Amino acid sequence: MIWPGLLASTVLLGISACSPSDSTPAAVGGDPIALIAAPAADEWRHYANDAGGTKYSPLTSIDSTNVAGLQVAWTARTRDFPPELFEGIEHERVEIPDDARAQGACGSCHGADIKFETTPLMVDGTLYLSTPTSRVLALDPGTGEERWAFDPAVDLEQGYSEGLISRGVSSWLDPEAAPDRSGVCDRRVFVATMDARLIALDGATGRACLDFGDRGTIDLDRGVALEGRSVDVGDYQVTSPPAVVNGVVVVGSSIGDNRRRDVESGVVRAFDARDGSVRWSFDPIPRTSTHPGSERWSDEAMRSTGAANVWSIISADPQRDLVYLPTGSAAPDFYGGDRPGRNDFANSVVALRASTGEVVWSFQVVHHDLWDYDVPAQPLLLDLERDGDTVPAVVVGTKMGHLFVLHRETGEPLFEVEERPVPPSDVPGEEVWPTQPFPTRPAPLHSTSLTPDDAFGIDDEDRAFCRDWIGRLRYEGVFTPPSLQGTIIWPGFAGGINWDGMGWDPERQMLVVPIKRLAMFVQLHERAEFEASLEDPEEGLEYARQGGTPYGMTRMPMLSPKGIPCTPPPWSKLVGVDLRSGRLAWERPLGGLPDAPPEWGSVSFGGPLVTGGGVTFIAAGQDDRIRAYSTSSGDLLWEAVLPAGGQAAPMTYRYEGRQYVVIAAGGRGGIGSAGDYIVAFALPDAS
């Protein structure tokens, strides 16, 4: 059994060159399509259906009694791969040859890290989605037929630190639009591209809205470089859809943050949805002593530290005029000696006034991050039933498997949070923040104990290798600092909880959470030693210079020689948490591997879909399957083979009286088979 690679061998190498399919942004399609208003319950209007990230639909046509009858209703392709590879194939699984991507929209991308993580929208009778190359497609919801396509002509010859990825688009209906949406750009579709542009498209035609920004486009990489630096092309991207709230488009960025200290600013900006003018901006790292949070930063760090960016999905509460930013770590990830202090607003959820950008409150989940413990998941806004009252809450999921349940208006914890001592650093120049926040309820969803006796292996040789490796490294529980000796990061920096986030059932008050369980190795190296190591890099290691600091860094997932995780299975699990009590309700292994016991699960990436029918859908695993579980009990109700990996969150909608469940099936850089499919499931058509 060979374990697919989880990380690139080195961040110093760019992805293979690709050729753009066109040099000019363009929309392809016929006459304007008819946009048809529909009830909110029938549609999927945001990345997670609502602006608050619940991934919940109230639709009940598919429920626990009939879900086993789901069949493929239609299959569409994005054409990011060469069309001849799929001629005559409807839904069968296809193995993509290593050089097969050379003829498609992605050019010669066979060496690229391609992540098909999109979740479509369904509004006004049309499906809208983005592809890994930032193309935007409009599809017929009943057949999957393409209505129009827009190609932003991203430069695919450029290497990108996050690979080729786009998690989806956003939309906005102009409140002055006619009921039939017949005006130009009445329904706008926004895509933020991997080369850092924000583009507004007409939902009916796919053509650029010329009154937005510069003829439909805003360049997001302007004004983000710190003083004396320039933007490193390919290391400043946008990978998640912007949030749209009350006529304001809010967008963050993805930054390759282990290159050096003074990488690009993690500034978050808001633009007018109609004309693209800047409404406000917020930098999570204070740049002056008058900036909120500056007392927890040194003057030098405020001038020369980059990142703390918002790369994941932003939530919004339009009624309260609030947006909720999940911020990342300040640069670099694994050494903070040059940014002493708690580093407020990094590794936090920050609530801003949507209309002005004013800070309303913030809550930090990791102080002075040294573990790449970004806040990765979209903050989930929900109404919590408690002691006969309904409390507006926000749940923050972390890579450590912690769930912080906060009051949505104040940020105050609704379950007690304790500051507990954590291990000190033994690296010269580093000063760990002495405590970290731990929620008391819900209990952590990820274990924090790992000893040589816990080492896993499929045979004695594998087990002995892992036992020896674990025994040689520093590990004193979660928040063990990186070291010159080498440190185990467990929970690993891939999660716990990651961008795939959580789902919420308001009727059952049940939170559904996919959890990843893969330990990581990280080691700091004195500068001269690190530079010398680059002359003969070790296969499998990721190298990062962390320029401007005394130390370079190497890291990798902890895998045995046969490619199996050194940590015990399951390597992912799906968990149900009853938020009325704050207690675990059920858990199941998630995903699977060929010829492996189901209780092992697999490495997984992809979020859940929770429905009013009491069913939770999720794919995510390495076995290219989508499954349905009972939201109440976690019992498996249905599963189906996908034509490629389902490393995305599914969505659902009702169209012409029929409920569909739709998922992007295209894999994620070795986690799941590669492809370019959109697959829709439905119950047999009674007609």
Give just the sign of the alpha carbon dihedral 34, 40, 43, 47: positive
Strand partners, 394: 381, 406
42 within 8 A of 653, measured Cβ to Cβ: yes
Residue 33: other Cβ atoms inside 10 A: 18
651 within 8 A of 119, measured Cβ to Cβ: yes
The Cα 599–Cα 604 span in angstroms is 14
Radius of gyration of the chain (CA): 23
Q: Which member of 151, 372, 505, 624 is catalytic?
A: 372
Residues 6+ apart with CB under 8 A from 11: 161, 256, 258, 259, 542, 543, 544
282 within 8 A of 298, measured Cβ to Cβ: no
The Cα 394–Cα 413 span in angstroms is 10
Q: What's the token pair of residue 570? A: 């399951």
Residue 207: other Cβ atoms inside 10 A: 18
8 within 8 A of 542, measured Cβ to Cβ: yes
The Cα 628–Cα 68 span in angstroms is 9
The Cα 199–Cα 218 span in angstroms is 7
Name the pairing type of β-strands 510-516 and 503-505: antiparallel
Residue 429: other Cβ atoms inside 10 A: 13
Residues 6+ apart with CB under 8 A from 451: 470
List the strands of the sheet with 136-139, edge to edge. Answer: 26-29, 146-151, 136-139, 126-130, 121-123
527 within 8 A of 551, measured Cβ to Cβ: yes
Phi/psi of residue 319, nearest 5 degrees: -65, -35
DSSP-derived 3-state class of residue 471: helix
Catalytic annotation on 140? no
Active centre residues (catalytic):
372
